[in-house]
Amino acid sequence: MILFALLAVPLTAGAVSYFSRKRNVMEAANVTSAALLLLLSAGLAAQVLRYGSVTGLGGFLFADSLSALVAALTSLVVLVSTIYSVGYLRHEQNSAAFENAETRIRRYYALTPVFVASMMLVVLANNLGVMWVAIEATTLASVFLVTFYGKVTSLEAGWKYMVIGGVGLSMALFGTVVTFYAARGALETHTLAGLSWTALANGAAGFDKAAMRLAFILILLGYGTKAGIAPMHTWKPDAYSEAPVPTAAMLSTAMLNCALYGLIRHYTLAHRCLGDGFTSQLLILFGVLSMGIAVPFVLIQRGLRRLLAYSSIEHAGIMVVALGLGGALGSLGLVLHMAYHTVAKSLLFLCAGNVYQHYKTDHFQGIKEGIIHSMPLTGPVLLMSTLAIVGAPPFSLFQSEFIIMQAGFWSGRILASVLFILFATAIFAGAMVHVGKLVLGPAGPGIRRSSNAWQDAPVLALGLILATIAFWTPSPVLDLIRGAARVVGGQ
């Protein structure tokens, strides 16, 4: 029942928020459901560590170590973003940042749990067709969150997100259908049971190879669009900069993880059918391209949230490169990077939200003072999380990137590894110059941001987690990560 509860809890919160007219009820429903979701995810992880995998609803739902890890990461981001959104939306309403406040706030609190439930279904569905439907549902729910403010720029960002995402998911749908076609002989079935992940994984070696090549190309383009890898990345900067900050935090971490999860599941099938060469070359090509395209935009960027968007494009590329490198090191590097990136990037977006609300802008030229002087919590945490996200030692993303580079050199991918280092170094320099000036600039008039516990508490909590995992990760979490890495590696 724990798998069913992971879907039912957020849907219940969404229903309560939709029918309620009281703001405090909507806030309580969302925060309570997010807390329950994290507890349920921890329970699922414990069961997976004990039994190896968990099934529910007659095999319709399924979770292994990779599913449990992504569910736990999603729940963590959802909890901190939901707590943060209480203070964030109250501030936005008080500053008249949007019209029709009651309607918009109810829409936010009703749609966010639907978005969360859709992401949970992505990682728990034991059917590739249902997984595609769930990923499509994340788009349908989140597009109305991207357009939350109702501005011309918000509507444009939502339209771009919807159109590009729709085209990408159409290709993913065709890829899913072609996968079913490739498997029909090996599984000897023409029913929807032929899309069962567990059945497909067991029979992947016997799939039609030509059809599987086409299927993987379509899936890479489709779910790659959802993950924002180049050249299908153009929706990201607009969506991240126009959506409410808590939504942007979930888009940049939880939804990215779900898109990569879908790609990983199909990669496992293609790898077992086709071997290393075909899938690895495509993944490394698109991954390195994503890192390279992010470099000039990071160097010339003028806004904090758009800078974080291009950072997400880079990190999506890093994880795709790790998937392409494969093996024990590549798989471990991918899973570690996914976990560490989730903590650091969500923290960066929450800090960016504080900066935006204090200065009424997140453009670097509009902030004339060092925010460390006016925002004594957000300033240091923003600088720390930037050092973490660019892979500076001793932070945990340095460890995951080092493992990925090591996997590249050990597998003989010298050119890809060298480009990986060059692009990562350039982004390190660009991001640190921008954020360093923003945080450590001269003192201003001395007006400090008033304390807001709803927003400061998640920032402080994630900051402590980020600092802790730089030196120590709890054993159960490491066991789950190792298990997920074995799943990615096809073991």
CB 5 within 8 A of CB 40: yes
Least confident of 189-198, 316-325, 336-345: 189-198
Rounded CA-CA distance 52/45 in Å is 10
In this structure, what are the phi and psi dihedrals at residue 20, rounded to the nearest 5 degrees?
-85, 150
Q: Are 356 and 394 in contact (CB under 8 A)?
A: no
Mean residue pLDDT across the chain: 92
The residues, ordered by sequence, that sit 6+ positions from 5 with a Cβ below 8 Å of its Cβ are 40
pLDDT number for residue 345: 96
CA atoms of 170 and 454, how far apart (whole Å):
39
Q: Give pTM, 2 decimals.
A: 0.95
pLDDT digits (tens, 9 = 90+) for 52-104: 889 988 888 999 999 999 999 999 999 999 999 999 999 999 888 888 888 89
The tens digit of pLDDT for each residue in 146-169 reads 999 989 999 999 999 999 999 999
CA neighbor of 44 nearest in space, from 73, 78, 69, 11: 69
DSSP-assigned states of every residue in 325-340: H-HHHHHHHHHHHHHH
